[in-house]
């Protein structure tokens, strides 16, 4: 396949990892640093071929710690940058995800979730890193995490992840289960003018007046990059608006950490995306994401055929958690069924948001996700 074009506009048959890589290119990503790991390796392999063709940088680092550190460096030098990994590598990246949060470095981290803990089941799917994505690094912070359910969404949500990351200067995580990453499906890539791209806001003050961490109205500071004539300092230490360390000031700590959380929390309505299927009159609601949401959709349709008023709330944004959407359906539902490929992670957030409405949890680990019949059974039992 000749792939000299930057954007492969047209219809393709490809796997999820490749669609993610092409989505990154479409979003303007020009720097990838990674380390081989199943089941995310195809993203690196594909970008090692594609990046040089379009003048971008691909580098294989010595480990995942180095990969995320290099990504942050490239981001601060003005390139849109990404890394891709799986659970073990994602664990290694956590400290520097905190650095990206603290220094507000836009970047995208793809975590193709295998079965864990530890080395676990490298070639099998899981949804076990959902809480790690939110809480993995130390300290209080907010990130954004998206969960694609199809190969088309691997492309679309990678673009979206870059847009959100650039808009809010926050690491954005694509949480993918192994099935979506390795599945082959049709992907339609639009022409460049039809793909919405967001870029970080640049400072519009004279260089000597630039304060690197002075936020705008949306709580996000405009970002200068190395080599642009702004002589600024950034640090993982608690810092003031000049970027200077303030390790003894409670006031600066409160102001900074609250802003880092608030820039996501207060913009949550703009960030969050869900898909609502047959929810208008639903009194039995299934909440699912990733590959499991596709089995859930099938189960909901079967339940409707049986006369049960079932609906699906498919979570596209996992973090910040769509608590308003869950709260709304909880008011009309007799019960909520949550299906996840873990021992109970996002279900805790659903329970918190659903208040009094009963929440039924369906766990599944190992090779196969939930079947539609398993989810249908849960709908029947609770309707």
Partner 1 sequence: MVEEMAHPLSKFLREAMMPHIWCSGCGNGIILNCFVQAIDDLQMNLDKLVVVSGIGCIGRAAGYTNVNSFHTTHGRPIAFATGVKLANPELDVVIVSGDGDLFAIGGNHFIHAARRNIGVKVICANNFNYGMTGGQQGPTTPLEALTTTTPYGNIEHPFNLVHLAAASGATFVARWTTLHARRLTQSIVKLLQKEGFCFIEVVTPCPEIFGRHNKMRTGLEMMEWFKKASVVEHFSDPAKAEITSEKIVVGEFVDIEKPSYERLLHEKIAQINKKAGELVREYAS
CA distances from 330 to 192, 313, 341, 374 (A): 40, 11, 22, 22
Rounded least distance, CB 240 to partner 1, Å: 10
The answer to whether 47 contacts partner 1 (rule: CB under 8 A) is: no
Rounded least distance, CB 145 to partner 1, Å: 21
The answer to whether 192 contacts partner 1 (rule: CB under 8 A) is: no
Angle (CA) 35 39 43, round 5°? 60
310-315 and 274-277 beta bridge pairing: antiparallel
The answer to whether 234 contacts partner 1 (rule: CB under 8 A) is: yes
The answer to whether 2 contacts partner 1 (rule: CB under 8 A) is: yes
Rounded least distance, CB 228 to partner 1, Å: 8
The answer to whether 231 contacts partner 1 (rule: CB under 8 A) is: yes
Rounded least distance, CB 3 to partner 1, Å: 9
Please list the residues that pair with 115 across neighbouring strands: 121
Q: Which CB, 51 or 146, lies closer to partner 1?
A: 51
DSSP 245: B
- Taking CB under 8 A as the criterion, the residue among 228, 241, 276, 377 binding partner 1 is 228
Note the Cα 354 to chain centre separation in Å. Answer: 23
Rounded least distance, CB 58 to partner 1, Å: 9
- Taking CB under 8 A as the criterion, the residue among 75, 132, 317, 342 binding partner 1 is 75
Span of 92-100, 183-191, 281-289, 303-311 interacting with partner 1 by CB under 8 A: 92-100
Residues 16-35, one symbol each (x = binds partner 1 by CB under 8 A, - = not), give: ---------------x-x--
**CB of 185 closer than 8 Å to CB of 193:** no
Rounded least distance, CB 209 to partner 1, Å: 14
Span of 50-58, 177-185, 197-205, 249-257 interacting with partner 1 by CB under 8 A: 50-58
- Taking CB under 8 A as the criterion, the residue among 6, 48, 59, 275 binding partner 1 is 59
| Burial (CB count <10 Å: 0-12, 13-18, 19+), residue 159 | buried
Span of 8-16, 36-44, 147-155, 238-246 interacting with partner 1 by CB under 8 A: 238-246
Site for partner 1 in 102-131 (CB under 8 A): 103
Q: Which CB, 70 or 359, lies closer to partner 1?
A: 70
CA distances from 178 to 33, 126, 181, 248 (A): 20, 7, 5, 45
**CB of 106 closer than 8 Å to CB of 77:** no
Instruction: Give 67-71 contacts, CB < 8 A, sequence gap 24+.
Output: 67/33, 67/34, 67/35, 67/93, 68/33, 68/93, 68/96, 68/97, 68/100, 68/107, 68/109, 69/96, 69/99, 70/31, 70/33, 71/31, 71/33, 71/100, 71/107, 71/109
Span of 90-98, 143-151, 186-194, 214-222 interacting with partner 1 by CB under 8 A: 90-98
Q: What are phi and psi of 280, to 5 degrees?
A: -50, -50
**Per the structure block, which two tokens stand in for 168?**
């809010």
Centre a 10 Å sphere on the Cβ of residue 152 and count the other Cβ atoms it contains: 18
The answer to whether 72 contacts partner 1 (rule: CB under 8 A) is: yes
Site for partner 1 in 299-328 (CB under 8 A): none
Report the interface residues with partner 1, using CB under 8 A.
Answer: 2, 4, 31, 33, 52-53, 55, 57, 59, 61-63, 65-67, 69-79, 81, 95-96, 98-99, 103, 226-237, 242, 244-245
């Amino acid at each position: 396949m000749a792939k000299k074009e930057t954007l492969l506009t047209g219809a393709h048959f490809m796997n999820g990892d490749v669609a993610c890589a092409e989505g990154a290119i479409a979003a303007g990503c020009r720097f990838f640093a990674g380390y081989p790991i199943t089941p995310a390796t195809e993203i690196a392999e594909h970008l090692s071929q594609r990046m040089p063709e379009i003048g971008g940088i691909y580098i294989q680092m010595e480990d995942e710690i180095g990969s995320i550190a290099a990504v942050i460096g490239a981001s601060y030098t003005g390139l849109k940058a990404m890394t891709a990994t799986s659970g073990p590598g994602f664990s290694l990246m956590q400290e520097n995800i905190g650095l990206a949060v603290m220094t507000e470095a836009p970047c995208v981290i793809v975590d193709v979730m295998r079965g864990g803990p530890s080395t676990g089941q490298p070639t099998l799917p899981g949804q076990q890193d959902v809480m790690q994505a939110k809480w993995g690094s130390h300290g209080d912070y907010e990130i954004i995490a998206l969960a694609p359910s199809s190969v088309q969404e691997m492309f679309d949500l990678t673009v979206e992840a870059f847009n959100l990351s650039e808009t809010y200067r926050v690491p954005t995580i694509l949480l993918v289960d192994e099935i979506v990453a390795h599945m082959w499906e049709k992907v339609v890539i639009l022409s460049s003018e039809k793909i919405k791209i967001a870029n970080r806001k640049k400072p519009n003050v004279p260089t000597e007046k630039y304060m690197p961490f002075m936020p705008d109205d949306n709580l996000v500071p405009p970002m200068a990059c190395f080599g642009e004539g702004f002589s600024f300092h950034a640090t993982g230490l608690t810092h003031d608006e000049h970027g200077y360390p303030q390790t003894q000031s409670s006031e600066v700590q409160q102001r900074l950490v609250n802003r880092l959380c608030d820039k996501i929390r207060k913009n949550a309505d703009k960030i969050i995306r869900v898909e609502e299927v047959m929810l208008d009159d639903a009194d039995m609601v299934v909440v699912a994401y990733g590959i499991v949401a596709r089995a859930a959709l099938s189960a909901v349709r079967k339940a409707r055929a049986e006369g049960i008023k079932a609906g699906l709330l498919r979570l596209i944004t996992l973090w910040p958690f769509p608590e308003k959407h869950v709260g709304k359906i909880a008011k009309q539902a007799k019960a909520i069924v949550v299906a996840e490929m873990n021992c109970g992670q996002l279900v805790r957030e659903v329970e918190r948001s659903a208040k009094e409405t009963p929440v039924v949890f369906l766990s599944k680990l190992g090779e196969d996700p939930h079947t539609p019949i398993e989810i249908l059974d849960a709908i029947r039992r609770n309707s």
